[in-house]
Each structure stands twice: as C-alpha cells, then as structure tokens.
Amino acid sequence: MKTITDRHRSVNKLEANTIEFLDMVYKVTPTEQHTLIDDWFKRVITYDLGVEGGSYKELANGTYEVTVKVKAKRFETLGSGEIKQIFIDEPIKIGVFAIHPSTVKDDSSILYYESNQINKEVTEIKIIVKEKPKYISIDPFGTRSDENIVDNVIRL
C-alpha cells in the first residue's frame, strides 16, 4: 500500500486502482499463495468449518496427545448467485487452548496454534501439547468467512 501511495503521490496522480494493488501483492507473495489471493480478491469463497470431535490422553512423559476431528467444506458463490461446493486444499489454523479462544489475551493460554493442510471434508489430526488442553478450535480467530462459527470450537 505504501509503495502504491508513494508512487501516485510523487506524480500527483491520485488514481490508484485494485488491479495495480493486486499486481503489487502478487510481486511480493510466493507463487503458491496466488490462488489464495485470487480467492480473497476475485472470488466469493465461503466455508463450513467445524470441530466434530476431540479427545486427549496424558502420555508417560507428562505431555498430552490431542486428537481432533475437523470438518472443512469450501464453497464458491457464482455470478448467477448459485453456491457450489468446491475442492478444499489449503492451510487452516488449528488451535488447542487452556481457556476458551474468545477470551485469549496473550500467548500463555495457547497450547498449539499451527496451520494444517486440509484437503478432505473430514480430517483427523494428532497434536502433542505440554499442558492439559481444555478447548480445540479450527480457525479460532476467524480468518475464513464461515457462516456458522459456533461449531468451530469444542470443550474437552
């Protein structure tokens, strides 16, 4: 944004546009992320994410193995208004927390927060954490347009 505004300010031309903005974004973004940029800026993509189940067990070394089963569906709204389910294959954050994710103030209650490549409607993931987990969430901080966020978190 700064590059574009500086360029236009220096030539007294105040007509920056979205095409120029996207060209700049593509230039500074790894090629493998260009599809995601297209999804964010050129298409209407929504999701149905949720945690379908989860459990944990304490391991002999005092850590905890968390098993989470997540669902992930991806949809595109076409120009006609039709909504169709499309293939999902992207990194989505999974979080394990000591407190409910909506009350997180700092990193001390985040036991795990990493991207996991999701490419199926239902995926089971195993995670090792150092403290007893209380909550599991998919996309806990709402980075995807998900019409039902209530099922994105469960209490263990």
Interval 34-79: pLDDT, tens: 988 888 888 999 999 999 999 999 999 999 999 999 999 999 999 8
> Start-end ranges of CATH 2.60.40 in the chain?
46-155
| pTM for the structure as a whole | 0.79
Alpha helices in the chain (DSSP H): 2-10, 18-27, 34-42
pLDDT of residue 151: 95
Is the Cβ–Cβ distance between 49 and 144 less than 8 Å? yes
Tell whether domain 46-155 is in CATH 1.20.1070. no
